Homo-oligomer: A and B are copies of this chain.
Amino acid sequence: MLSTTPRTTLGREKHRGSTDRNDLYEVLDSGLICHLGVVVDGHPMVVPTGYGRIGDTLYLHGSTGARSLRAGQGQQVCVTVTHLDGIVLARSVFNHSVNYRSAVVYGEARLVTDEQERMDGLRALTEQLAPGQWDYARRPTRKELAATAVLALSLEEASVKVRSGAPEDEEEDYALPVWAGVLPVVSSWGAPVPDPVLAGDTATPAHIRDR
C-alpha cells in the first residue's frame, strides 16, 4: 500500500490514483529520468536528473558542486517521474487531456556516506539508465567517487496517478460530428551511434544492441 499523507492524497480525480505499491515500482522502474524539485532561498527549483531504485529507496546523484544536490541534502525534496503515453483528443477543447503514468515521491533526502551503500546506489543509477553498463564499463575510481554526491530518498511517501483510454466527453457532445480518440506517444530506441573515435573492431555489445 502507498501512503495516505495529506500531500500524497489526491485532491482531485481520485479515480486516477493508485494505492498499489507495485504500480509505483512499475512507473519508477520503466523511467529514464526524473524531475527533482528542491527549495532554494524559498523558491522552487526543478531539474531533470537520473535516478535508481533499490527496494523502497530511490537514489539520486550528481557532482558534489551541483546546486540542486546541495539544496536537497537533509531537506524536503520532491521527485516526479512521468510517462506521457498519448494525447487525448476530445470532442470539446475543455475535455482534452493526456494519457500518462506518473509517480510523485516526497521526503527528506539523506546524503549517503556509507561506502557500500554509495556504490550500490551508483550501480542502481547506472543500471536504470543503461542496463548492463555497470559490469561492462570501467568502474569509478576513488577520485571519481569523491567528486560524486549520492542522495537517498525513502519511497514511504509517494503517490501514483494514471490516465489511460478514450476521451471522457460531456453527454451532449457525443452527438457532435467531431473525431475523438487518442494519439499515442511512442518512445523507442534508435540504432546505437558509435563514438566517431571508437576503434573499428569494437563490436556493439548485446546489452546495448538488443535493448
Given contacts A45-B78, A48-B100, contact A183 B192 (CB under 8 A): yes
**Does A2 interact with chain B (Cβ within 8 Å)?**
no
Q: Find A138's partner among B36, B100, B176, B182 (CB 8 Å cutoff).
A: B176
Residue of B nearest to A85 (CB): B190
**Does A162 interact with chain B (Cβ within 8 Å)?**
no
* A: number of interface residues (CB 8 Å): 92
**Shortest beta-carbon distance from A81 to chain B in Å:** 9
- Chain A residues 22 to 51 lying within 8 A of chain B, measured CB to CB, are 32-33, 35-40, 42-48, 50
Q: Is the CB of B98 within 8 A of A32?
A: yes
**Shortest beta-carbon distance from A118 to chain B in Å:** 13
**Shortest beta-carbon distance from A64 to chain B in Å:** 10
**Does A76 interact with chain B (Cβ within 8 Å)?**
yes
A98 to B62, CA, bound (A): 13
**Does A1 interact with chain B (Cβ within 8 Å)?**
no
Q: Is the CB of B98 within 8 A of A12?
A: no
A-side residues, CB < 8 A to B, are: 7, 11-12, 32-33, 35-40, 42-48, 50, 63, 65-67, 76-80, 82, 84, 86-87, 89-94, 96, 98, 100, 102, 104, 106, 122, 126, 129-130, 133-134, 136-141, 144, 148, 166-167, 173-174, 176-199, 202-205, 208, 211
User: What 19 new A-B contacts, CB under 8 Å, besides A35-B82, A186-B187?
Assistant: A12-B67, A33-B100, A46-B78, A46-B79, A48-B80, A50-B98, A86-B190, A89-B133, A93-B137, A93-B140, A130-B183, A166-B195, A166-B197, A178-B202, A180-B195, A182-B192, A183-B208, A184-B191, A185-B190
